[in-house]
Chain A
Amino acid sequence: MNFLDIKAGETIEVGTQEAYRFWRYAFPPYSDRVRLLSWVSDKRWSPHEVVEATSPDAGEQGIHGYKTMDDLMWSIRGDPDALVLRSQMSGCDGIVIGTVAMWGIIWDHARGYRAQFARPLSFISSYGNRNEQALTELRASFLQLQFSK
């Protein structure tokens, strides 16, 4: 991270912030590996990389996450299947819900966070085409690795 982003007198906490979020997933037609994509952008999350967002100090930028699973469910009206339809309109196969570790600059919001850096910590549930296969493959490829930036 860029330590020039830290303002004079600001407290620096050691650790990461856990948050809940959802992604889109897609099975490419000629590939055997499921792809993980952000919900609002075409950012692809790779098993070997930490994701860095535009600074959360700018507008509504940053990697978004919810404080609790209840906050996430409240946001989607408790209906993950509605998100599946929207994901499929963008050419994806479904959605997956999980947790991330966040760090860098973080903006706390009432129900969630916007962060500079994140990496997946867990994949909890999935909805859509071949959802069980997607969940198994994402867990296998993302959760036993070290990350680089």
Chain B
Amino acid sequence: MAEIGKPEKRRVLVPEEMPQPARVVPAPKSPVKVPEREPA
């Protein structure tokens, strides 16, 4: 890429929403069952 002209000004931009990871771990289809504690 060429010919964008002379440099004029330096800036710093921070996106409103930072890019998120593309890999998303799917939520379990059914609630996770926690085994009941055995009586002592």
Contacts and interface: CB of A to CB of B under 8 A. Distances in A.
Contact of B5 (A1, A15, A110, A148): A110
B1 A110 contact: no
Nearest to A72: B1
Given A22-B1, A111-B3, A112-B5, A106 B20 contact: no
Interface residues of B, number: 21
Contacts of A16: 13, 15
B2 A104 contact: no
Interface of A: 1, 5-6, 10-17, 21-22, 39-40, 48, 50, 57, 64-66, 71, 74-75, 101-114, 119, 145-149
